[in-house]
Amino acid sequence: MLFRSAAEGIKKVIDFQNRLIKETRLGIPATVHEECLTGFTTKGATTFPTPLGLAATFNEQTVEEVTDVIGRDLRSVGVHHALSPVLDLVRDYRWGRTEETMGEDPYISAVMGAAYVRGIEKNGVVATLKHYAGHSSPRVARNHGPVSMGWREMYDFMLVPFEIAIREAKVGSVMNSYTDVDGIPCAASEQLLTHVLHDELGFDGVVVSDYWAISFLELMHGVAGNKAEAGALALK
């Protein structure tokens, strides 16, 4: 794996943005995003405790102070979009991404998640709630596996941290899950992405695909015949 310094990363971003602005038909610069689950993921940056460790402090001020530092780090190198926090609730600890979450309790995850968002976004960087929704509860804890969950459980548990971060912290971005819920892929779920997220929770920010979620509508879920159909289905 190649590790670049922050200075090397800045130069790469500037060069890439210049090409987009000067050498493409529309001249639109890119949104620069980064992972920052335990801190800005670049060589030499500070690494903080995992979200499980942060949540275990039971101190939202501490979480906000930590993510304020992360947000400043991101902003200092031209990053616009932070791909955290993970607000999935863990119901089965066999699931392999448990350490990325804030645990099993919807209230703790909601309070700490909102604090995480406030710290990041006070620096002008957009935080991203993920993975919306039910991602952490696939059958037999198999990552990307189908989620068999009724809407009562979804509302009472899985959606609570997302709702608080949207309503209280005014988060700017939500990332959909790779999984399907009751047979409907989240990336193409009108129920989740329109009726619940926008109409009920009042979210007015940007929904972003987990990296391959739209491609997976064709390749994994089999509800689209090609890339164009997958993109159209997600937009619809």
Q: What are the strands of the beta sheet with 206-208, ordered from one edge? A: 128-132, 173-176, 206-208
Residues β-bridged to residue 5: 43
Catalytic residue among 73, 88, 180, 210: 210
Angle (CA) 74 60 155, round 5° = 95
Confidence (pTM): 0.92
The pLDDT tens digits along the chain (236 residues) read 566 788 888 899 999 999 999 999 999 999 999 999 999 988 888 999 999 999 999 999 999 999 999 999 999 999 999 999 999 999 888 988 999 999 999 999 999 999 999 999 999 999 999 999 999 888 887 888 889 889 999 999 999 999 999 999 999 999 999 999 999 999 999 999 999 999 999 999 999 998 899 999 999 999 999 999 999 999 99
State the helix-helix crossing angle for 159-167 and 106-121, rounded to 10 degrees: 40
- Active site annotation includes 88: no
